[in-house]
Amino acid sequence: MHIFFTLWLAFLPLLPAGSTISAPVSAPAASRDYCKIYGSVYLERDPKYKNTASYTVFLNEEEAFANMVVYRENNKLFADGTAIWYLTPSKAFADHVLYVTENRNFADFTVHYTDVRSFATCRE
């Protein structure tokens, strides 16, 4: 067994420079594009169903510190732009399912609601 290990170490420098053996790495949560979330959104608050959500969000009181300023649309047909959400009461009819956390440190991004449609924006 020691012979094979020694031979492997001896021939290791002879491998081509581009060949590396590594496990696939998934993108971290922060690099995912949450700015594409619009349309019907269901806010999951039950920790049992946390794994079914696409993102974890924190509802922020201050607009200055929010990653996304969201306008709540009353009609699903008009929720057609960035940060314009129709909050659906049913998970089955939602385009996006988001888990709402009480701890800001666990969130992928923070959300602040606005009353003015033109103020809706995403800050990456």
Residue 28 domain flag: no
Residue 113 domain flag: yes
Q: Is residue 41 a contact partner of residue 95, using CB atoms and an 8 Å limit?
A: yes
Report the chain's C-alpha Rg in angstroms.
22
- pLDDT, position 21: 53
Residue 25 domain flag: no
- pLDDT, position 25: 47
Q: Tell me the pLDDT tens digit for each residue of 86-108.
A: 999 999 999 999 999 999 999 99
Residue 14 domain flag: no
Strand positions, DSSP E, the chain: 39-44, 55-59, 68-72, 84-87, 96-100, 109-114, 121-122
Residue 99 domain flag: yes
Q: Tell me the pLDDT tens digit for each residue of 11-46.
A: 767 766 655 555 444 445 444 689 999 999 999 999
Residue 94 domain flag: yes
Higher pLDDT, 18 or 111: 111
Q: How many folded domains does the chain comprise?
A: 1
- pLDDT, position 4: 66
State which residues form the domain around 45: 33-122
DSSP 8-class letter at 34: G
Angstrom distance (rounded) from CA 41 to CA 87: 5
Residue 77 domain flag: yes
pLDDT averaged over every residue in the chain: 86
Residue 78 domain flag: yes
Cut 0.75: pTM above it = no
Q: What share of the chain is helix, strand, coil (3-state, %, to 5)?
A: 30, 25, 40
pLDDT cut 70: percent of the chain above it: 81
